[in-house]
Structure 1
Amino acid sequence: RSYLSLFTIETLLCTNSLVCVSHFQIHFNHFFFFFFFFFFFTRFTNFAVTFVGSISLMAERVHPADSPPESGQFSGNFSSGEFPKKPAPPPSTYVIQVPKDQIYRVPPPENAHRLQYLSRKKTNRSSCRCCFCSILAAIFILAVLAGISLAVLYLVFRPEAPKYSVEGFSVSGINLTSSAPISPKFNVTVRARNGNGKIGIYYEKGSTVDVYYNDVDLCNGALPAFYQPANNVTVVKTALTGSKIQLTTAMRKEMRNQLSKKTMPFKLKINAPVKIKVGSIKTWTITVKVNCDVTVDNLTAPSKVVSTKCSHDVDLW
């Protein structure tokens, strides 16, 4: 910078042209020399700093320790008792030891056992699933076939339930003026109507017939066994008896009140085992349950049925 200032001052103070030109050339040569010297000096300084830094990094780098010798390889020098040392690797060289299984991609043995266990479990699960699906399919097919069969039978035979009514209901043996136990007797006439055109009904043994007053069982009996063909009306008579039935004072009073109105209500219950005949085939035993509300005008033998209402139910099993 001082050199340039001096050069500028001399240029301004110069009066002789020839002398000024010579001075200018001399100063220009000096300036060019100093410029190139400064340029090469800075380049050399940067290179020296970079080289020294790389040498220090290489000196500080630590190489991995040598691996121990493999089994079966021994040194010939047994006097020292040590294995020969391997030559140190060249600079910037690293030794990485990788297991052979990872190089060849060999799975561990436990993976094979796990794969075998999972495959066996999947096979068992798939077989159970197939068996379950087969059972469901069989049940579905059987249900469809049963529904089709029932629909065909219904369309062919047009079944209808039989109808029941009480034709006669006579009472005797009930004394309401005394507090002694009673032994009532009932003669019941039941009318059964089978309106099926192709179905017959077998009334089996083992039926029960009971008469109740306010849930008190007064007497019991049974229907006779008989066969009722198709499109038939059958009237059945049965005798019912009771023994030593104790009536409460309130019940006797209530029955006397009903008798004065000539409306003595009773309840008739019938359980009858039957078999249905379709062509030449008999079904299993079915229980028919008949419940009738019967009202009579008197408690003597020539009593008259004032009203009757019957309902029935069927137990298929």
Structure 2
Amino acid sequence: MEGPRRPPSATAPESDDDKPDDPPSIWHRPTSSLPALPSQDAPPHHWRNHSLNLSIIPATTPSSLPPPDSIPEIETYVVQVPRDQVYWTPPPEHAKYIKKRRNNPEKNKKSGCFKRLMWFFITLVVFGILLGAIILILHFVFTPALPVFTVERLTVKTSNFEVTLRAENPTSNMGVIYMMKKNEVVSLMYKNKSLGRGKFPKMSQAASSSNKVNVKLDGSTKNAVMPPRGSKQPMSMVLMMELNAEYEAGPVKKNKDVVVTCDVKVKGLLDAKKVEIVSENCETEFKN
């Protein structure tokens, strides 16, 4: 019996017996000649899952496939923070204070009322101080000065006297209005006897101005013992009047009672229509 045939060598010459019509030779190696292979366990589960699956997969159309999940859009925000900005949290004492106020609502209400009253009182005090300061300033700035009166002429007629006066207002920042007080008259006296009585006409004067005013007095020399005619001795008479002077400068108004007393010495009171005034002196004062 022949043994197994060996495979031809690559360098062996080709014999005549090896023709293309011959069937291919088959070489077998005895099983007993192979080394024993080590026993292997079943492959791991993940190997089986990722192993090649050579089974036939049925063809599917694109329309039967599920649509892919949409990828959400990611929005980007830019936040700019100043470098010098400091963030801080209130101290814990503030939380205690707030808690205390919440726990005592009645006390908080009383405290709020007290604070409002205190602020109202402070406002009144401040307002009073400001008002007092304004009044004090107005008192010193707008202070009326005493008017000045001068007797310029005295004329004697049959039943009356006519006295010409010059009135001057020395107040530089206030005008004045003169008028007679109620139940008051201008009187001309000689030795405590009245020679004539009359009214002072209403007169307005600007600041730092002077005006003439004529005062008519009803009376005659018959009621008094006069010196004989032709006597050259001066006669002393007194002209008295009490006026109400209303000073005004814008919204500032001040009322003053002015008392005027004029000592006048004259000559020729009985012999001439125009009497010569030898001397005169008028004094004024504020009654209030």
Calculate the TM-score normalised by the size of structure 2.
Answer: 0.48
Calculate the TM-score normalised by the size of structure 1.
Answer: 0.44
Q: Which is higher, the Rg of structure 1 or of structure 2?
A: 2
